[in-house]
């Protein structure tokens, strides 16, 4: 969900998600429950696979913004014409495409972000979700219900963590990295404005990938400087990206490991979508290592989704279940839970700011 690029209270996001649910429930009231269950829940896997096929086959990109004949598309892309017609028909039933009376198909508003050139594309995330290995990781939720969250679905299926799996499947690792970049764009403009980032200080992004968020922060604060801390492999890719953005001379690169050496002196440190990947014990370890490199008086800002088990919503509850299946002890947390982890690491918890369901939790090094 993309929100306006202004600070947005949590209650507004909750109200919007709640209103959407109530509208859906109002429509569902006219349909027998078993039909809704069949169409929306039991068919969920098929819908994900169909969306993934539109991306991976090239159909979504070939459709673009136009209406196209499915047989022509099939010939153009080297696909089977009959199967192409059937997949597009199923995509139409899923509201991803619309087929006119002449049989020509076009992407709907819902399906348009399946295009890789769409400004709000989530094509890579859909490809990752539709991959058979991802479905296999979710196939062990029943075992986790009986035995507990750990080991994750990836450990149960492949005998390795999500991150080690990506090391062996570089194609999926690249798709996942691109998906994280795409999803980061959803709330990046709001994050930039939701926190008083220093005008002239140094901002260190820990495990910041190729630097999309750090670049946005430095664009917002032209007098500030940055430190990007990540693995050597990621830093190499980041240099190319940040040079293209004209920011390389304002950013210092540091190699490090969340569970190893972290060495960077800054005014503000930030970690986006890091804590939710890990168990409480692992988060304490990470935060203690961050605390060890922070000068007294410096600030840490963790960025995750605000999730309270007693007040679930369609966005955070589903992502919490995703973290359960994919990561070792991963979960979405409430501000109070993050504050407790910060205290355990020797940090002084501070203010919590929101941009919709995204929370920016502050802590200070004593």
Q: How many CA atoms lie within 13 Å of 328's alpha carbon, on the beta-carbon side?
A: 13
Cα 77 → chain centroid: 30
Confidence category of residue 312, pLDDT binned at 50, 70, 90? confident
Residue 7 confidence (pLDDT): 62
Q: What are the tens digits of pLDDT across the range 25-47?
A: 998 899 999 998 998 899 999 99
Dihedral angle of Cα 320, 323, 325, 328, to the nearest 10 degrees: -130
pLDDT for residue 5 is more than 80: no
Residue 6 confidence (pLDDT): 56
Give the mean model confidence (pLDDT) for residues 286-296.
98
* 3-state DSSP assignment of residue 140: coil
* Contact present, 338 and 304 (Cβ < 8 Å): yes
Q: Report which of 57, 41, 81, 185 is spatially closest to residue 130, judged by C-alpha positions.
A: 57
The rounded distance, in Å, linking the Cα atoms of 120 and 108 is 14
pLDDT for residue 8 is more than 80: no
* 3-state DSSP assignment of residue 245: coil
Q: In what order do the strands lie in the sheet with 348-355?
A: 251-255, 225-230, 202-206, 268-272, 299-305, 358-364, 348-355
**Burial of 160: CB neighbours in 10 Å, binned 0-12, 13-18, 19+:** middle
* 3-state DSSP assignment of residue 1: coil
Q: What are the tens digits of pLDDT across the range 236-261?
A: 999 999 999 999 999 999 999 999 98
Q: What are the tens digits of pLDDT across the range 187-228?
A: 898 999 999 999 999 999 999 999 999 999 999 999 999 999
pTM exceeds 0.75, yes or no: yes
Phi then psi dihedrals of residue 97, to 5 deg: -130, 165
Reported as type and span, the H/E element at residue 100 is none
% of the chain beyond a pLDDT of 90:
83
DSSP 358: E
Residue 51 confidence (pLDDT): 98
* Contact present, 331 and 340 (Cβ < 8 Å): no
Residue 3 confidence (pLDDT): 38
Q: Which of 84-88, 119-123, 130-134, 185-189 has the lowest mean pLDDT?
A: 185-189
The rounded distance, in Å, linking the Cα atoms of 300 and 342 is 10
pLDDT for residue 309 is more than 90: no
* Strand pairing report for 348-355 and 358-364: antiparallel
Confidence category of residue 99, pLDDT binned at 50, 70, 90? very high
The rounded distance, in Å, linking the Cα atoms of 151 and 324 is 9
């Amino acid at each position: 969900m993309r929100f306006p690029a202004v600070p947005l209270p949590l209650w507004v996001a909750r109200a919007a998600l709640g209103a959407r649910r109530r509208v859906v429930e109002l429509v569902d009231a006219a349909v027998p429950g078993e039909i809704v269950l069949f169409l929306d829940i039991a068919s969920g896997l098929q819908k994900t696979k169909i969306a993934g096929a539109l991306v991976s086959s090239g159909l979504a990109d070939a459709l673009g913004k136009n209406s196209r004949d499915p047989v022509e598309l099939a010939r153009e892309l080297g696909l089977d014409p009959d199967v192409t017609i059937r997949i597009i028909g199923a995509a139409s039933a899923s509201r991803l495409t619309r087929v006119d009376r002449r049989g020509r198909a076009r992407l709907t508003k819902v399906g348009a972000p399946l295009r890789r050139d769409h400004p709000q594309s989530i094509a890579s995330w859909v490809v990752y979700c539709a991959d058979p290995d991802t479905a296999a990781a979710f196939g062990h939720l029943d075992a986790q219900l009986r035995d507990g969250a750990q080991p994750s679905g990836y450990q149960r299926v492949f005998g390795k963590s999500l991150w080690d799996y990506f090391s062996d499947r570089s194609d999926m690792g690249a798709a996942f990295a691109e998906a994280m970049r795409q999803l980061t764009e959803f709330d990046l403009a709001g994050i930039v404005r939701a926190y008083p980032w220093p005008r002239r200080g140094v901002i260190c992004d820990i495990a910041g990938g190729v630097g999309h968020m750090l670049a946005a922060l430095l664009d917002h604060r032209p007098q500030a400087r940055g430190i990007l801390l990540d693995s050597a492999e990621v830093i190499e890719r980041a240099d190319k990206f940040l040079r293209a953005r004209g920011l390389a001379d304002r950013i210092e690169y540091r190699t490090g490991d969340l569970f190893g050496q972290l060495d960077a002196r800054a005014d503000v440190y930030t970690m986006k979508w890091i804590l939710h990947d890990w168990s409480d014990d692992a988060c304490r370890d990470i935060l203690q290592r961050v605390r060890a490199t922070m000068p007294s008086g410096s600030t840490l800002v963790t960025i995750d989704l605000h999730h309270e088990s007693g007040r679930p919503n369609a966005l955070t509850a589903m992502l919490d279940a995703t973290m359960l299946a994919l990561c070792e002890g991963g979960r979405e947390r409430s501000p109070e839970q993050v504050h407790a982890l910060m205290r355990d690491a020797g940090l002084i918890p501070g203010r919590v700011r929101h941009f919709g369901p995204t929370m920016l939790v502050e802590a200070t090094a004593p």
